[in-house]
Structure formats: structure tokens, C-alpha cells
Amino acid sequence: MSKPLRELPPITQELIDASNAEVSSALEEDYAALERQLERRGVLRALGTTLDELTSRVAELDLALPSWGLGTGGTRFGRFPGPGEPGSVFEKLDDAAVVNRLSGGASRVSLHIPWDGAEPAALVGHAGALGLSFDAINSNTFQDQSGQKLSYRLGSLSHPDGAVRRQAIDHNLSVVELGRAIGSKALTVWIGDGADAPGQLHFRRSLERVASSLGEIHSALPVDWRLLVEYKPYEPAFYASVIQDWGTALWACETAGDRARVLVDLGHHLPGANIEQIVAYLAARGRLGGFHLNDSKYGDDDVTAGSIKPYQLFLIFCEIIEAEREARSAGGALDLAYMIDQSHNTKDPIEALIATVQEARKAYARALLVDRVRLYEHQTACDPLGAELLLKDAFDIDVRPVLAMARKRKQAAIDPIAVFRSSGYRAARALERTADRKTGGGIV
């Protein structure tokens, strides 16, 4: 009999059940109405599925939370810490558990080292008691740590100086060791390496150096691990980034080793980039590793996924489902890492992350409702409007009863944000964590 999960007062199962009891009959009504509508329109019949099957598939979509997204984010112009924000990796895990308990869809956390460095046993123990586990672990050679011998100011895994590359590779290997001890199965590598001026970099040699460094890291990975290589067009480098786009990351992965995969951070694309097309191509090469979900209007804004471009998020999930069908029909499966990477500068991080789980599941549910057979017919018949309207038909379905039912059936909150706000969790943490800071509890 599994040990009951540690409660996070004032967020208790009792509070969730009480809130659900108030809104459950309205949900049942909305769910039944949606089922009748989709049956009348023949949508479920065409897909050969039922609304309950769809709801269980949506409930399986579980996102990994970024440890760094549970505190208040900031920009170079400043950071305005919110009340009761977490001051240690353990307090971040507590808050992550609240997101999971209320949303029913975020049972893993992605750590960033050395930001979250701690004793593996303590991490596993604390997370386990909360019903959490660890997803991909992130290395960091885009900042210098105190006591570090060589600086990453002008590069790390691509640095012309082999000693700097050695130091960066060793850091990644030590992160893998910690990851192995806490149960992670993947290493995420994002490097800020690049140039601020034309002529500063030898493009080809820089790329070859980073691919060889990644190759060394790949060969040291445990056999059941993957290496996730994240690309980014600019920032912190403002003329050229060594791993600037999906093609470069694909090249680096194919050079580094067969368990290297490309990580698609939605914010790491120049305006106008067709991300769903990139996802389709990476999957076709068998090198799609996973996502850092977020949204953006301008640059790498790291705002809440689906808050600016929900249709793009829907189209991305359409390509994921298509790639999954193709992988399954070839006897394989896609094993993607669904992680969030956001910076919450003005929103409560817990609320924003709950909203993100909902937006991702909303996009996924709508994409599951696309009649692919008829879509192929429109594509084969070169009927652009037929194809477009078919996608819009799915996108326009109000799937919120499915999302709420998926939460209810996982004993999560039918209305998670309302429960969080009415719980007073943040105020309670504000009292407790401020007191801790004063008495030196917790890490400032």
C-alpha cells in the first residue's frame, strides 16, 4: 500500500474534494452535452473513439515543471519577488506538488544545476513524499560559478581553448552523475556560446568543437539516457549563436551520437518561423526529443504557453500526433519530453504553471479531435480550404469539460485556480518563508 502523499496545507485533498463537490454536477452536464454534440456530428465515430477514451489520453499528458519557474522571474531591468516565493529547491518542490495536486498533470520536475544542487537522497526523499519525480536535468555552462577556474564568458563547449571545453564537459558529466542518483533519464544542454561581432567566431570550427564536446558527453551517458540539445538564435550572443537553429542542433545530434535528440523551446525561434513544420521534420529524422513549452510575442519572452499563439500550440500538437501515428505504424513510438520553460515576472508562478498544464492539454485534446483521414483526403486533393476548415473545426471545439473531467478523475481540482486562490496557500507560505528567512531557515 503506497504511503499517503505529504499534504501541503492549506491545500488538502479535503479542500479539493469540497470544491469539486460544488461544481461536479455542472461539469457532468457540460461533459454529457459535449458528448451528445460530438456524437451528433459524427466526430467520435470518424475517429473510432469515445469521449472517455479521449479524456483518458488527455489525462496522460503530464508536463515537467521547471524548478526555475517556481520563483518570480525577472529581466535585466529588475525582478519583483512575489510574497512567499520559494527560497530553496525543497520549497520549489513543495510548490511544484501544489501545481500537480491541483492540475493533475505535472508530476515531474526538471532541475537546473548548480541552481538546484543538493544531496540526491534528500531530493529523492522530499520529491517522493510529494508524489513527484525528476525529468531531464539541465547543466549550466552559460554562467560562471564562484571558485570556477576558467570563465565561460567567451564560450564553453565550443571554446577554442580545450581546457575550457574540458571544464564544461566535466561539469556536464557531474550533472549526469547527480541526475543518475535522482532518477533522471536525460541531460538537457543549452549553451549561450556565440559572438557579438562579425569575425569573432570561426563558424565551422566552433560547431565542430561543440559537436565533439557533445559526443564526449553522449558517450559517457548511462545506456538508458538521452542527450537533449537545445538551440536558440540569439541571447546572450547578439551576432551569432553556435547552436542557433533546429538544423544546426540536428547536425550536432547526428554527430554526437544515436541517443542525442533536439529539444524545441518554443521561444527560441525568429519571428515567422514555422515551428510545427520544424517539429514534423525533426520527427521525420527520428531526432525529435521534446519541448520547452512557453509562448512569446517578440523574443524569448518565456510567457505562459498558449497565452499569445494558442493556434500555433494546437498545430504543434497536430504534428506530434501525426509523428506518433507514423512512429507507431513503423512499430516504434515517440518518447518525447514535455517540459515547461517559463519566467513568471508578474503572475503567481503556481497559477501560471497550472494554466500552462491546462493550455497544453487543451491544444492536445483539440488536436486529438482532428479527423486525419479526411485531412489526408483534402491534402491529396490539394484542397487548402477544406484542410484548413477541418483543422479549425477541431480547434473550435470547447474541450474544457474534457480537461476538467480529466482532473476530476485524477482527484485533482475541477477548478484549480479558484481552489488555489481560495486556499490562502501563498499567504501561508509568505508568513512561513519570511519567518524562516529571518531565522536563517531556507536558503536566501
Q: Which does 300 bind (CB under 5 to 8 A by kind): Mn ion, ligand LRH, none?
A: ligand LRH
Site string for ligand LRH, 54-93 (x = CB under 6 A): --------------x-------------------------
At 131, give phi and psi (nearest 5°): 80, 20
Residue 295 lies near ligand LRH (rule: CB under 6 A): no
The CB-of-232 to ligand LRH minimum distance in angstroms stands at: 6
Nearer of residues 227 and 403 to Mn ion, judged by Cβ: 227
CA distances from 232 to 3, 43, 235, 241, 245 (A): 42, 39, 8, 7, 6
Nearer of residues 292 and 366 to ligand LRH, judged by Cβ: 292
d(CA 155, CA 175) in angstroms, rounded, equals 19
**Maximum C-alpha span of the chain:** 71
Residue 281 lies near ligand LRH (rule: CB under 6 A): no
* 131 grid coordinates: 508524489
How many chain residues are in contact with ligand LRH, going by CB under 6 A?
9
Nearer of residues 91 and 341 to Mn ion, judged by Cβ: 341
The CB-of-268 to ligand LRH minimum distance in angstroms stands at: 7
Residue 190 lies near ligand LRH (rule: CB under 6 A): yes
DSSP element (H, E) containing 194: strand 194-195
Nearer of residues 68 and 395 to ligand LRH, judged by Cβ: 68
Residue 31 lies near ligand LRH (rule: CB under 6 A): no
Nearer of residues 292 and 361 to Mn ion, judged by Cβ: 292
The CB-of-24 to Mn ion minimum distance in angstroms stands at: 37
User: 281: how many CB neighbours lie within 10 A of its CB?
Assistant: 18
Nearer of residues 192 and 416 to ligand LRH, judged by Cβ: 192
Residue 231 lies near ligand LRH (rule: CB under 6 A): no
Preceding omega of 384 cis (within 30 degrees of 0): no
Alpha helices in 220-273 (DSSP H): 246-256
Closest CA to 415 of 149, 18, 1: 18
From the list 92, 218, 232, 429, which residue makes contact with ligand LRH (rule: CB under 6 A)? 232
The CB-of-157 to ligand LRH minimum distance in angstroms stands at: 14
From the list 55, 100, 138, 358, which residue makes contact with ligand LRH (rule: CB under 6 A)? 138
Question: Which positions touch Mn ion (CB under 5 A)?
Answer: 265, 292, 341
Contact between 375 and 395 (Cβ < 8 Å)? no
Nearer of residues 92 and 366 to Mn ion, judged by Cβ: 92
d(CA 210, CA 193) in angstroms, rounded, equals 9
Closest CA to 414 of 88, 4, 95, 27: 27
d(CA 263, CA 283) in angstroms, rounded, equals 11
Alpha helices in 150-235 (DSSP H): 162-182, 203-219
d(CA 249, CA 233) in angstroms, rounded, equals 11
Amino acid letter, residue 77: F
Site string for ligand LRH, 340-359 (x = CB under 6 A): -x------------------
d(CA 105, CA 108) in angstroms, rounded, equals 9
Give the footprint of ligand LRH on this chain (CB under 6 A): 68, 138, 190, 230, 232, 265, 292, 300, 341
